[in-house]
Amino acid sequence: SASRGWEGLSNMEGVESQCTDIAYQLVMNNSDIDVLMGGGRRFFLSMNKTDPELNRTSSYQRWDLDLVDEWLRRKQEENVSHSYVWNNEGFNAINPQTTDYVLGLFESSHMQYEYQRDTGPKGEPSLAEMTQKAIEILGRNDKGFFLLVEGGRIDHGHHASQAAVALSETVMFDKAVQVAKEITNDDDTLLVVTADHSHAFMMAGYPSRGNDILGVVDTEIGEDDMPYTTLTYGNGPQQRRNLTGIDTTAFTFRQSGVVPLGSETHAGEDVPVYASGPMSHLFVGTHEQNYITHVLAYASCVGPYPGRCAVPPVSTIGSATSGSVISFLLLSISFFLCWL
């Protein structure tokens, strides 16, 4: 897609007709994708269908076709085991041992922040729960699989200058990575964790050991005679103010930004790439971002490296003939899981 904003048909006004939106491409041009889970349901539903959670329609819904119905029709024609779900009740009913394809659209727009997530039957699964279900389904393929998991709302917490929210989302992301490590094997699964960018987010001051990371620095105040938080931003929607009596650990609290902006911005420092499993040694050192793609392809023997797996291994350790790749992306962070 030429623009990540082309999520649905309603975002394509003024775009030449031969270009198609991302939701359309996912269903109409990528039928070999086994598991799709996330938000954005409004870009899949037609205008004549009521959203099952909101009990109303949205102006973002489609006027050409209903992609959920189209996905269901195609899977029925293919005579494969499949399931479309939109809440925890449906998600929990999926049997990963007998289900081959899943389309899970759990929110009309973005998934909920973890601290706001409804964990009941009408709510939505966590990132860790979706990760586990996806691996359990994909892991039945004896040829291996590729899985991309994105912690997309870490980024949103930072843009709002809400450090508690961003860190809470990062903790859930960490749980998703841990789940992936627990139910896969380092001998045949390449696990990669990285980010697409950083934020203008910083830690400053000399607070006492054990002082709450979300609290104010307890050893000094600023030269303006006001306390300041250990965590702060280089820019953002919240200007500096007196924090006396304010609960700086609350999810709704916004850390101060030096430069006033409507939304905090990305930053430019290098981001880490963590990896375990076959070919993980190739991630040592500093690399351009597109290098990651080549390592994933090389490890999986796909793309420009189809013949690599035909070469006899130097050692039998980790030399399984098929495997998987899991990639985690923190949006800031994702992980890739590759079964090799």
Indicate the annotated binding residues for Zn(2+): 155, 159, 196-197, 266
Neighbours of 337 (CB within 10 A): 31
Q: Copy the structure tokens of residue 87.
A: 């809440």
Which residue ranges are tagged as binding site for Mg(2+)? 150
Which residue ranges are tagged as binding site? 150, 155, 159, 196-197, 266
Give the whole-angstrom CA distance, residue 181 versus residue 174.
11
* Nearest CA-CA partner of 112 in 101, 126, 92: 126
Q: Tell me how far the alpha carbon of residue 60 is from its chain's centroid.
A: 22
Q: What is the DSSP annotation of 254-286?
A: ---EEEE-SS--EE-S---EEEESTTGGGG-S-
Q: What is the DSSP annotation of 226-239?
A: ---BSEEEEEES--
* Nearest CA-CA partner of 330 in 262, 266, 238: 266
Give the whole-angstrom CA distance, residue 143 versus residue 122.
35
Q: Tell me which DSSP letter residue 141 carries.
A: -
Query: What is the chain's length?
Result: 340
